C-alpha cells in the first residue's frame, strides 16, 4: 500500500511543482488513489450522503483515511461537517448529543457508532478564557485552565480552520464522498510516505493546549512503526509533567488505547523513553527505576511478558479485559508492599489485602480505575496465593471460581517471566482437562509429594478419656459416702 502511496504523493506534489511555496489543500482525484466506498463502513457512507442531501458539507476524516492509505484496516469512521451538533442531531433520529469539552453527535446503527463533529476553529487565548478552580464554564464556547490546557472548544469554523486545529498532519486528510477525492490540508501524505509523525503548528503550544497529544504521538509511533519528527519529539520530556493536570478518568482510557491495542511492548518502551510512563503509573515506574527484584519476581520481565501476551491475543483477534492489563502493570508494586507488610508481622492474607488497597489508592490519583475493574484485579492477585493450595476440595472449588481463568493466565505469565512455581501452571493445565477420577489422582499426588517433603507427620496426642474403672471407683466412693451418711 505504501508503494502506491509514493506514486500518489508524487502525482499530488507534481501538480504544484512549478510553485516554490507548497499550497494547500492538495486534492487527489479518485483516479489517483485507492480509497473506494467498498473499503468504507456502509453506515458511515449513509451518514455522509444524508448530510449532503440535507444541504451540508460532510467528509470522512482522520484515522480511517490515514489507515487505509497505510494499509491498515480502519476500525473507526469519523465524520466532520459544517452542520452544528444540534442540526446533525435533528437529522438523525438514531443519534445523541454528547460532550461538554467538545460537543459531538453519536449516530448509532446497531453495534456500530459513527461519530460526527462540526468544523472547529482555533480559538485565540484571552484573559477571559483562563479558568480558576472555582470559575464556571457555563455559557462559554471556549475556555482554558490556568496551565493553558483547553477545557472547552466549541468555536465552529470552516474546513481549513478545522484542519489546522487537528493534532498531526496525517490526521488532516479528508475524504469527500461527492467526488470521491482526498483533500490533504497539512502535508499528511508526504509524512506518511516518510513514515514520520509531525504535529500541526508549534509543538510546545499544541502540547500546552492538550498534553494528551504527547501520549497520542507515542501511540501512533507504537502502532504505525513511524518515527516522531524531531521538532515534534523535542518538548515531550520537558512538558510531560502537564499530564498531572489531566483528569484521571481520561488517562485511564488513554492507557487502554496505548497498551491494549496490540502494540503494548513498543509503546511501553517509548513511554519510558520519553518520561511519560511515570505520570501514568508512578509507583510502578519508581519500582522499575529502583531496580528492585527478588527470586520470585523480576518486575520488568514480568510486565514485558504480560504485554507480550496481551499483544499476541489482540493480534490474533482475541479480546483482553482492561482489569487484566492493569493487574499486570500494578502486580510488582503489590508484591513489594505485601513483602513490607509481612515484614511488620502481618499475616499473609491481610498483608495482601492491605498491599492491594495501598497500591490502588495511590494509582487512582493518576488514572481512575472503576470499581468494576478494581474488584477483579484484587481477585486475580488473591488467586496467586490460593492456586498453590490444591488439597482436598480446594482445587474443585477454585476451578469454579469466576476469576479462575484470569488468575490462571496471570500465573502462567509469572512462570514465563522467570518465576519458579514448581510446575504449578502445568498441574492446573492438566487438572482443567482431566476427568473427575484423574483430577482426584492429581490431588492425591500433590498430597503425597507434600507428605514426602514434610516427612512423617507427628500424630497429634489424643485427649485422654477418664477410664471406666475410675468412674466405678468414683461411683463406689460416692455410694460409700452415702451409706456412711445414712449410718
What lies within 8 Å, CB to CB, of 353 at 6+ separation is 378
Which triple of cell numbers denotes residue 192?
506518511
Question: What stretch of H or E contains 454?
Answer: helix 436-454
Task: Classify residue 59 as exposed, middle or buried by CB count within 10 Å of its CB (0-12, 13-18, 19+).
Answer: buried
CB contact at 8 A, 425 and 415? yes
Please report, for residues 88, 114, 115, 172, the alpha-carbon distance to residue 43 in angstroms, rounded to integers and kept in the order given: 15, 8, 11, 22
Q: Is 167 a catalytic residue?
A: yes
Q: Report the distance separating Cα 92 and Cα 89, nearest Å.
A: 5
Q: Which of 67, 153, 162, 167 is labelled catalytic?
A: 167
What lies within 8 Å, CB to CB, of 432 at 6+ separation is 399, 408
Phi, psi of 182 (to 5 degrees): -110, 130
Q: Is 476 a catalytic residue?
A: no
3-state secondary structure 367-421: CCCCHHHHHHHHHHHHHHHHCCCCCCCHHHHHHCCCCHHHHHHHHHHHHHCCCCC
User: Buried (b) or exposed (e) across 392-424, using 16+ Cβ within 10 A?
Assistant: eeebeebeebebbebbbbbbbbbbebebebeeb
Q: Report the distance separating Cα 455 and Cα 447, nearest Å.
A: 12
Which triple of cell numbers denotes residue 155?
468555536
Q: Which of 32, 57, 76, 382 is labelled catalytic?
A: 76
* DSSP designation for 225: -
**The Cα angle at residue 200 between residues 251 and 164, in degrees rounded to 5:** 100
Q: Is 184 a catalytic residue?
A: no
Strand partners, 169: none
Tell me if residue 324 falls in helix, strand or coil: helix
Tell me if residue 121 falls in helix, strand or coil: coil
Residues belonging to the active site: 76, 78, 167
Amino acid at each position: 500500500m505504501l508503494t502506491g502511496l509514493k506514486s500518489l504523493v508524487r502525482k499530488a506534489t507534481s501538480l504544484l511543482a512549478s510553485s516554490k511555496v507548497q499550497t494547500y489543500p492538495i486534492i487527489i482525484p479518485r483516479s489517483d488513489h485507492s480509497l473506494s466506498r467498498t473499503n468504507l463502513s456502509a453506515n458511515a457512507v449513509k451518514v455522509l450522503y444524508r448530510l449532503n442531501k440535507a444541504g451540508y458539507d460532510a467528509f470522512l476524516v482522520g484515522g480511517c483515511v490515514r489507515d487505509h492509505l497505510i494499509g491498515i484496516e480502519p476500525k473507526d469512521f469519523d465524520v466532520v461537517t459544517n452542520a452544528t451538533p444540534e442540526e446533525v442531531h435533528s437529522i438523525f433520529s438514531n443519534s445523541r448529543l454528547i460532550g461538554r469539552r467538545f460537543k459531538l453527535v453519536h449516530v448509532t446503527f446497531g453495534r456500530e457508532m459513527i461519530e460526527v463533529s462540526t468544523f472547529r476553529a482555533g480559538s485565540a487565548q484571552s484573559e477571559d478564557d483562563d479558568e480558576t478552580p472555582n470559575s464556571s464554564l457555563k455559557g462559554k464556547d471556549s475556555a482554558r485552565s490556568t496551565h493553558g490546557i483547553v477545557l472547552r472548544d466549541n468555536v465552529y469554523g470552516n474546513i481549513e480552520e478545522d484542519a489546522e486545529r487537528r493534532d498531526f498532519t496525517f490526521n488532516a486528510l479528508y475524504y469527500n464522498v461527492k467526488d470521491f477525492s482526498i483533500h490533504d490540508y497539512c502535508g499528511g501524505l508526504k509524512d506518511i510516505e516518510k513514515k514520520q509523525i509531525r504535529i500541526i503548528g508549534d509543538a510546545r503550544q499544541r502540547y500546552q493546549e492538550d498534553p494528551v497529544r504527547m501520549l497520542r504521538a507515542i501511540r501512533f509511533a507504537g502502532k504505525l512503526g513511524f518515527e516522531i519528527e524531531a521538532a515534534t519529539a523535542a518538548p515531550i520530556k520537558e512538558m510531560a509533567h502537564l499530564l498531572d493536570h489531566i483528569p484521571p478518568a481520561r488517562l485511564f482510557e488513554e492507557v487502554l488505547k496505548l497498551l491494549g491495542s496490540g502494540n503494548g511492548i513498543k509503546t511501553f518502551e517509548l513511554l519510558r523513553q520519553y518520561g511519560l510512563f511515570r505520570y501514568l503509573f508512578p509507583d510502578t515506574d519508581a519500582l522499575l527505576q529502583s531496580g528492585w527484584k527478588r527470586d520470585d519476581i523480576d518486575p520488568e520481565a514480568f510486565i514485558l511478558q504480560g504485554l507480550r501476551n496481551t499483544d499476541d491475543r489482540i493480534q490474533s483477534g482475541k479480546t483482553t479485559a482492561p482489569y487484566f492489563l492493569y493487574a499486570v502493570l500494578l502486580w510488582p508494586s503489590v508484591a513489594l508492599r505485601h513483602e513490607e507488610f509481612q515484614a511488620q508481622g502481618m499475616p499473609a492474607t491481610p498483608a495482601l489485602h492491605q498491599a492491594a488497597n495501598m497500591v490502588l489508592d495511590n494509582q487512582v490519583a493518576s488514572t481512575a480505575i472503576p470499581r468494576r475493574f478494581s474488584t477483579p484485579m484484587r481477585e486475580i492477585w488473591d488467586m496467586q496465593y490460593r492456586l498453590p493450595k490444591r488439597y482436598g476440595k480446594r482445587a474443585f472449588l477454585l476451578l469454579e471460581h469466576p476469576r479462575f481463568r484470569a488468575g490462571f493466565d496471570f500465573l502462567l505469565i509469572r512462570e514465563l517471566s522467570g518465576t519458579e512455581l514448581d510446575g504449578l501452571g502445568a498441574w492446573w493445565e492438566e487438572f482443567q482437562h482431566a476427568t473427575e477420577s484423574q483430577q482426584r489422582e492429581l490431588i492425591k499426588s500433590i498430597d503425597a509429594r507434600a507428605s514426602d517433603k514434610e516427612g512423617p507427620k507427628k500424630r497429634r496426642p489424643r485427649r485422654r478419656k477418664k477410664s471406666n474403672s475410675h468412674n466405678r471407683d468414683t461411683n463406689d466412693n460416692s455410694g460409700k459416702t452415702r451409706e456412711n451418711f445414712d449410718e
